[in-house]
C-alpha cells in the first residue's frame, strides 16, 4: 500500500510537541489550542494521540492552520499542525 507523501513543511522535529494523552483530561483540546496560539507563522505543533482529532482539524483550520496526520504502527496518531504564513494584502 502506498502512503501519501508528507507535505514540504513536515519536520521530524517540530517546534512544539504535545502528548495529547497527558495534555489534559478528558480532552486535550484547550491545551492544544493554547499551544497553537503561541506559534509564529510557519511553525509546527506536533500532537500524539490515541485517536484522530477531527474536531481539532476544523478548529485550527479556522485559526489559520493546516494539518498532516499519520497513524503510527503502535496505533497512535501523530498529527502536525502548521500555522500558515500571513497573507499579503
Counting residues of the chain whose pLDDT is more than 70, the rounded percentage is 87
- Residue 46, phi then psi, degrees to nearest 5: -110, 135
pLDDT of 40 higher than 80: yes
pLDDT at res. 2? 61
Separation CA 11–CA 50 (nearest Å): 21
Q: What is the pLDDT of residue 37?
A: 94
Three cell numbers written together for 62: 479556522
Q: What is the pLDDT of residue 17?
A: 86
Q: What are phi and psi of 26, to 5 degrees?
A: -80, -15
In tens, the pLDDT along 2-22 reads 678 888 888 878 888 888 665
Amino acid at each position: 500500500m502506498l502512503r501519501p507523501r508528507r507535505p514540504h513543511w513536515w519536520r521530524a522535529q517540530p517546534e512544539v510537541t504535545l502528548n495529547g494523552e497527558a495534555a489534559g483530561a478528558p480532552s486535550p483540546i484547550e491545551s492544544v489550542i493554547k499551544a497553537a496560539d503561541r506559534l509564529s507563522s510557519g511553525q509546527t505543533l506536533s500532537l500524539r494521540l490515541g485517536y484522530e482529532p477531527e474536531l481539532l482539524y476544523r478548529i485550527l483550520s479556522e485559526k489559520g492552520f493546516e494539518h498532516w496526520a499519520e497513524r503510527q504502527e503502535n496505533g497512535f496518531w501523530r498529527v502536525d499542525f502548521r500555522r500558515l504564513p500571513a497573507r499579503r494584502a
